[in-house]
Chains A and B, each alone.
Chain A
């Protein structure tokens, strides 16, 4: 069965610090990988996605993620966080082109101004 593991429950950073949120998945075949973000009081929304090709994908608001197949990982990064990045971040995996999304438990990011 597919599963997604997010290593950090709550991350607290100061503005301008670099961010890396870990995500590992368990699935033996071709996967599609996603990061979703939920800002306080807002809907869950897609941050970035990986389907194939360049393993380094760029999303909105300066976020990027790197797919490392050998490590079954899809970590989210941002060089310099802002207070407005305070949100909960969810990694999700979809096995194949027709499978359903399996979400991790989420990582809450708090950025101190």
Chain B
């Protein structure tokens, strides 16, 4: 079974520039998550999709971050414009929804963003 794919793996941009990250979840997984992991901290959920609908985006800085999952499969996360404090690893995870509500999240390798 192929895992969660993310690209690019690394990205360096200057502040005020735009950047986009791509995620392809495990085949058949209905739920997709984007996390932000700042150095020295644990992952923090930014947004959760169920198929192509948003379930939770309460911690997404909507003035600069946006995400979409148009066909319920791949997803993109965009930052526009980037700030220095956006430097972090952006993790994508996916899960299937099983009976009883338990779902194990499978994580991708992440995209390391450096904003200079």
On whether the beta carbons of B56 and A105 are closer than 8 Å, the reply is: no
SS of B interface (majority):
loop
Query: Is A17 in the interface zone, CB < 8 Å from B?
Result: no
Residues of B within 8 A of A105 (CB): 40-42
**Given contacts A43-B108, A45-B107, A97 and B44 within 8 Å (CB-CB):** no
Query: Is B8 in the interface zone, CB < 8 Å from A?
Result: no
Residues of A within 8 A of B72 (CB): none
Residues of A within 8 A of B116 (CB): none
Within B90-116, the residues touching A (CB, 8 Å) are 91, 93, 100-102, 104-110
Query: Is A72 in the interface zone, CB < 8 Å from B?
Result: no
- A46–B106 alpha-carbon span in the complex (Å): 8
Residues of A within 8 A of B105 (CB): 46, 101
Within A24-79, the residues touching B (CB, 8 Å) are 32, 42-46, 49, 51
| Shortest Cβ gap from A95 to chain B (Å) | 13
On whether the beta carbons of B109 and A43 are closer than 8 Å, the reply is: yes
Residues of B within 8 A of A51 (CB): 102
Residues of A within 8 A of B44 (CB): 103
**Given contacts A44-B107, A46-B104, A4 and B45 within 8 Å (CB-CB):** no
Known: A43-B108, A43-B109, A44-B93. 18 other contacts (CB 8 A): A32-B102, A42-B109, A43-B4, A43-B107, A44-B91, A44-B107, A45-B107, A46-B104, A46-B105, A49-B104, A90-B43, A97-B102, A98-B101, A100-B56, A101-B43, A101-B105, A106-B40, A106-B41
Which residues does B use to contact A, with CB under 8 Å? 3-4, 40-45, 48, 56, 91, 93, 100-102, 104-110
